[in-house]
């Protein structure tokens, strides 16, 4: 076995790590807009030479709005996936039933928490930031695929939050402590979700033929491609929000859109796809699938004339 996760131990860790919404952000608490909200390793706004430090901070905050919105969207398709998976697994293993229901309940709490942060953001930020959606349509597009492909996408998301937290603690810049706390609390519970989702994916992959697994890989790429396109659209929305906030058109706006899209691609796709634990599950589910994902992540070498 490539891991030692089990439902009983994971449920016990989950119950120990649990927190309440008010431990992270009370409904009347305000974010500190004099600081950055997102770790620089994710927002990558300090590198934008066409913006001064004040403008970089505004873009960093728009990137935080994107974070809240995207996690709001993905948590909303994780929840129905878990219910679909829990229903046929209601009998047999009591630890499994309780662990999956607790997992679902924590994701419902995360939706609530991201909404609470979003409301605080809207209260304190001077312009409306447009986001992709609606979340129901994005969820329907993802969930129409094979449950194994969806389970793998969710697993990628669970592991990426571990990477995000590390980014936020390594960031010694001027980060808002409440946003830092959001990353930390999400990480605490997601660490257990990643284990449970590994067990769910193992069960969904069991007994699949090579042909089915090849099709699952295609569907996994379709979902990742759909999310990638959505990030591209969101990067344009973000730069438009920045322009509305500053009341001017940014010099080199197209280059800025590409730079911010690349930052989002790392944050919401690559940081999960390259996580060692995620790669191990891919390998255990299907070595061919793991090889196809690895090939898609390898930068193409420029053709050299003979």
Task: State in angstroms the smallest separation of the CB of 12 from Fe ion.
Answer: 17
Decide if 189 contacts 110 (C-beta within 8 A).
yes
Footprint on residues 64-103 left by Fe ion (CB under 5 A): none
For Fe ion, the closer of residues 112 and 123 by Cβ is: 112
Footprint on residues 192-231 left by Fe ion (CB under 5 A): 193
Task: State in angstroms the smallest separation of the CB of 228 from Fe ion.
Answer: 21
C-alpha to C-alpha distance for 27 and 127, rounded to whole angstroms: 21
Task: State in angstroms the smallest separation of the CB of 270 from Fe ion.
Answer: 19
Task: State in angstroms the smallest separation of the CB of 154 from Fe ion.
Answer: 7
Whether a cis peptide bond, with omega within 30° of 0, leads into 134 is yes
Q: CA-based angle 103:104:108, to the nearest 5?
A: 120
Q: How many helical (H) and strand (E) elements, i.e. helices and strands, does the chain have? A: 13, 0
For Fe ion, the closer of residues 82 and 239 by Cβ is: 82
Which span sits near Fe ion by CB under 5 A: 20-28, 55-63, 137-145, 151-159? 151-159
For Fe ion, the closer of residues 158 and 240 by Cβ is: 158
Task: State in angstroms the smallest separation of the CB of 123 from Fe ion.
Answer: 23
For Fe ion, the closer of residues 58 and 191 by Cβ is: 191
For Fe ion, the closer of residues 190 and 240 by Cβ is: 190
Task: State in angstroms the smallest separation of the CB of 240 from Fe ion.
Answer: 28
Task: State in angstroms the smallest separation of the CB of 192 from Fe ion.
Answer: 8
CA atoms within 13 A on the CB side of 256: 24
- For residue 304, what is the DSSP state? -
Decide if 238 contacts 66 (C-beta within 8 A).
yes
Q: Which of 110, 118, 145, 164 binds Fe ion (CB under 5 A)?
A: 110
For Fe ion, the closer of residues 181 and 218 by Cβ is: 181
Closest by CA to 32, choosing from 199, 207, 174, is 174
Secondary structure element (H or E) that encloses residue 43, with its range: helix 40-43
Return the SS3 of 175: strand
C-alpha to C-alpha distance for 47 and 200, rounded to whole angstroms: 40
What is the chain's length?
A: 306
Which span sits near Fe ion by CB under 5 A: 32-40, 108-116, 174-182, 255-263? 108-116
Task: Measure Cα distances from 187 to 17, 29, 152, 177, 254 in Å.
Answer: 10, 21, 18, 15, 33
Count of residues in contact with Fe ion, rule CB under 5 A = 4
Footprint on residues 166-195 left by Fe ion (CB under 5 A): 190, 193
Enumerate binding residues for Fe ion (CB under 5 A): 110, 158, 190, 193
């Amino acid at each position: 076995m490539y891991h030692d996760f089990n439902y009983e131990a994971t449920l016990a860790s989950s119950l120990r790590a649990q927190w309440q919404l008010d431990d992270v952000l009370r409904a009347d608490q305000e974010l500190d807009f004099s600081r950055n909200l997102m770790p620089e390793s994710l927002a990558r706004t300090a590198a934008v030479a066409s913006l001064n430090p004040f403008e970089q901070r505004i873009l960093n905050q728009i990137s935080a709005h994107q974070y809240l919105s995207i996690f709001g969207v993905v948590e909303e398709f994780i929840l129905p996936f878990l219910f679909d998976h829990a229903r046929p697994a209601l009998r047999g293993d009591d630890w499994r039933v309780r662990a999956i229901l607790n997992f679902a309940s924590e994701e419902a709490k995360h939706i609530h928490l991201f909404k609470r942060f979003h409301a605080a953001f809207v209260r304190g930020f001077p312009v409306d930031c447009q986001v992709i959606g609606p979340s129901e349509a994005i969820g329907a597009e993802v969930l129409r695929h094979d449950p194994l492909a969806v389970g793998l996408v969710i697993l990628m998301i669970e592991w990426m939050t571990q990477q995000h937290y590390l980014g936020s603690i390594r960031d010694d810049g001027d980060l808002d402590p409440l946003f830092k706390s959001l990353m930390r609390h999400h990480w605490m519970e997601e660490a257990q979700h990643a284990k449970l989702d590994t067990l769910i994916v193992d069960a969904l992959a069991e007994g699949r033929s090579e042909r089915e697994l090849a099709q699952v890989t295609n569907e996994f790429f379709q979902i990742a491609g759909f999310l990638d396109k959505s990030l591209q659209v969101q990067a344009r929305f973000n730069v438009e929000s920045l322009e509305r906030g500053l009341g001017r058109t940014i010099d080199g706006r197209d280059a800025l859109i590409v730079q911010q899209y690349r930052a989002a691609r790392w944050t919401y796709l690559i940081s999960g796809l390259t996580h060692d634990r995620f790669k191990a599950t891919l390998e255990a589910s299907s070595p061919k699938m793991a090889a196809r994902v690895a090939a898609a992540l390898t930068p193409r070498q420029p053709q050299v004339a003979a």
